[in-house]
């Protein structure tokens, strides 16, 4: 973790995980535009510091580099936040990635790291920070899930879709538990979004998706934050994805599974 520096007093900070690029970086920019002080975390300290330098003209920004695949990282991160004097009012659980290929293509260590980042770290950070979020009186939790959580799982999404489904159900339960404490909890479920996601998984060149289905990170970030402020538990950016969600809910499960089986290899060919 990076060395501490002073945080200016405020009514509460937003902690954004996975803030070094993509949707996480854009969420940080949007909160900065709205005047919310930030604590940014991800593995890549250089990327975080570059973003922090960009945003410090608007709000106080702290950088704490951490690898959430390490089971010890969530507790150390929260400890460091407290040591720097920050009070977290908003938690954005955004850190995540995809593992390319079918289930047996990756070794078990890759899968355990994935589950730690996508499920374990999210659960622990929320548990550790929820008291301060509740104490704020207008606390917020924004969990960046995926449209994959709303569809039958695709070929090659053996753990990704279940992890994102967990985020959705986790958000729903937290929203009910904390509604009387002024806490808004939202699952943000974007579809295909222009970011580094498919570059990291090595599937960018294989994607066969209509340009009309791609979302911009700024659009996704605004939709998530606006929906969270309204108290929406589920946010699906883009009218095409909202229409698709409505249609899929009306289909028999066997039919939906059949359509996914037919289309998944067109979208993401696998070995």
CATH code of the domain covering residue 252: 3.40.50.720
3-state DSSP: the chain helix, strand, coil percent, rounded to 5? 50, 10, 35
Which amino acids are annotated catalytic? 160
Q: Which two tokens stand for residue 20?
A: 């070094």
pLDDT of residue 219: 96
Domain extent for 69: 13-267
User: Would residue 140 count as lying in a domain?
Assistant: yes
Mean pLDDT per block of 10 residues along the chain (271 residues) reads 44 95 97 98 97 98 98 98 97 95 94 98 98 96 97 90 97 97 98 67 53 91 98 96 93 86 63 54
Structural domain contains residue 6: no
Which residues have C-beta within 8 Å of that of residue 124, sequence separation ≥ 6? 74, 75
Q: Establish if 4 belongs to a structural domain.
A: no
* Residue 47 falls inside a structural domain: yes
Per-residue model confidence (pLDDT) at position 7: 41
**60 is a domain residue:** yes
Q: Which pLDDT value is given to residue 3?
A: 41
pLDDT of residue 111: 97
Handedness of CA 148, 149, 151, 156 (dihedral sign): positive
Query: What is the per-residue burial (b if ≥16 Cβ within 10 Å, else e) of 170-190?
Result: bbeebbeebeeeebbbbbbbb
pLDDT computed for residue 200 by the predictor: 47
In a domain, 52, yes or no: yes
Cα–Cα distance for residue pair 1/135, rounded to 1 Å: 27
Q: What is the token pair recorded at 8?
A: 């200016």
Number of domains in the chain: 1
Q: Is residue 35 part of a domain?
A: yes
* Distance from C-alpha of 52 to C-alpha of 25, rounded to nearest angstrom: 10
CA distance 36 to 186: 18
What was the pLDDT predicted at 271? Answer: 54
* The predicted structure's pLDDT at residue 217: 96
What is the pLDDT, as a whole number, of residue 202? 47
81 within some domain: yes
């Amino acid at each position: 973790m990076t060395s501490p520096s002073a945080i200016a007093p405020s009514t509460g900070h937003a902690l954004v995980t996975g803030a070094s690029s993509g949707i996480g970086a854009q969420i940080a920019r949007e909160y900065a535009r709205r005047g919310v002080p930030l604590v940014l975390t991800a593995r890549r300290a250089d990327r975080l510091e570059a973003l922090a330098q960009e945003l410090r003209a608007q709000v106080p920004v702290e950088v704490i580099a951490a690898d959430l695949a390490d089971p010890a990282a969530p507790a150390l991160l929260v400890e460091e936040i407290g040591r720097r004097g920050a009070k977290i009012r908003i938690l954005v659980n955004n850190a995540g990635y995809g593992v390319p290929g079918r289930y047996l293509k990756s070794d078990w260590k890759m899968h355990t790291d994935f589950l730690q980042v996508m499920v374990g770290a999210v659960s622990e950070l929320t548990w550790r920070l929820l008291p301060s979020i509740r104490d704020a009186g207008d606390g917020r939790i924004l969990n960046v899930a995926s449209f994959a959580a709303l569809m039958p799982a695709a070929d090659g999404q053996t753990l990704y879709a279940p992890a994102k489904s967990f985020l959705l159900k986790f958000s729903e339960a937290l929203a009910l538990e904390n509604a009387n404490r002024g806490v808004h909890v939202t699952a943000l479920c974007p579809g295909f979004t222009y970011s580094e996601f498919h570059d990291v998984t090595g599937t960018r060149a294989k994607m066969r998706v209509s340009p009309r289905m791609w979302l911009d990170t700024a659009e996704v970030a605004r939709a998530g934050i606006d929906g969270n402020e309204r108290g929406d538990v589920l946010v699906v950016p883009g009218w095409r994805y909202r229409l698709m969600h409505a249609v899929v809910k009306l289909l028999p499960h066997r039919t939906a599974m059949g359509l996914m089986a037919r289309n998944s290899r067109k979208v993401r060919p696998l070995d």
